[in-house]
Structure 1
Amino acid sequence: MIPPQEQEMLRIQLIPFYFVQEWLTFQTIYSWHLLNTVRLTFFNLIMLFPLGVYLAILFRIQRLKKAVILVFLSSLFIETLQLILSYIGFIWMRGFNVDDLIMNTFGGAIGFWMAGLIKRLMRNAKKN
């Protein structure tokens, strides 16, 4: 309901690589919390992977630095938007997590790098 009927604290996590501490906290491999944090970290890694590919192939961006900046800004926009929408009660309470920014950006950079690698391999295959 807009505005929110219940007052909840906004969750803002600004400690880089906090997910590693969470992994170490939940030591057993069968822990639901451990599996959930690993799963969420993996999903954050692959979330903007396609954007990195699109930047390399569709938008023909050549430099990794430019691609990383664009992926980071996209991730920052998503994190900020979910925080704002949570605050006004439009979506269920979400938070702002710097680990999401890191993993989204890293995933986008991997996508950009892999697309560039595939483009080079295809170009070399055409030459031969």
Structure 2
Amino acid sequence: MIIFYVLMVFPITAVVSFLIYLPAYIYNKTKYGKRSVVRHLSIYCFIGVILSILYVTVFMGGITFHPGYHFLNLVPFVWVKETYLMGFAKMIEQLFMNAVMLVPMGFILPVVFPSVRKWWKTALCVMVFILGIETLQYFIGRSADVDDLIMNTFGGCVGYALFFLLNKLLGERKWWKGALNVQA
């Protein structure tokens, strides 16, 4: 699955991200003037992260608006007692992957948007984004699970922690300030 993503989906995501960012780049260049290449790269990566998450959570596996079933779990940490049909090891793997999937978003959000440079604001943005995805998943034949929301939000917080650490370590570097759009 990872090989398929790298060989097929990643290049498509990169091109679509570029096509989405190009008008924003042109608009921002005329409005704000020249910005650092690292700033443009961080915004471009943000678009790619959003598209990748949407692909994995919504589009991969197909969409149907008349699903044969609706699975909704509103009981937090139910996986501790029940492992469904997949078994304990698969459940742990799924929880881990749900957390890891949102680490890039938790990192790139505060880089791109100065208004979410506090951990709770980043966590809130990630949670609202994932709540929207989980709600959509319920209606397109996928499961909606509060545990996914919890683990995705946790992953976003881990991503923010990485941002926080890098910001402490690199805070005075010119290229880092350029990525954050902070004037030197």
Normalization by structure 1: what TM-score?
Answer: 0.74
Q: Name 1:81's counterpart in structure 2.
A: 136
Q: 1:108 to 1:3 in 2, by over 3 A?
A: closer
**Which amino acid is 1:56 matched to?**
P
CA RMSD of aligned residues (A): 2.7
Query: Of the candidates 102, 118, 122, which is equivalent to residue 67 of structure 1?
Result: 122
Q: 1:116 to 1:3 in 2, by over 3 A?
A: closer
d(CA) in 2 for partners of 1:85, 1:71: 21
d(CA) in 1 for partners of 2:109, 2:117: 9
Q: Does 1:44 align with 2:98?
A: yes
Counting aligned pairs with the same residue, the percent is 33
Report the CA distance between 1:85 and its aligned residue. Answer: 1.6
d(CA) in 2 for partners of 1:85, 1:48: 21
Contact 2:65 2:140 in 1 (8 A): no
* More helix by percentage: 2
Q: Name 1:55's counterpart in structure 2.
A: 109
d(CA) in 2 for partners of 1:3, 1:46: 28
Contact 1:22 1:37 in 2 (8 A): no
d(CA) in 1 for partners of 2:151, 2:107: 16
Contact 1:71 1:108 in 2 (8 A): yes
Q: Which runs of 5+ in 2 are unaligned?
A: 1-62, 175-184
Number of aligned positions between the proteins: 111
Contact 1:47 1:104 in 2 (8 A): yes
Deviation per CA, 1:13-56: give whole Å up to 9, x if none. 01101122236x99xxxxx6122101110111111111110112
Q: 1:8 to 1:112 in 2, by over 3 A?
A: same
Deviation per CA, 1:102-126: give whole Å up to 9, x if none. 0000100110121111110123789
Q: Which has the higher contact order (CA 8 A, sep 6+)?
A: 1
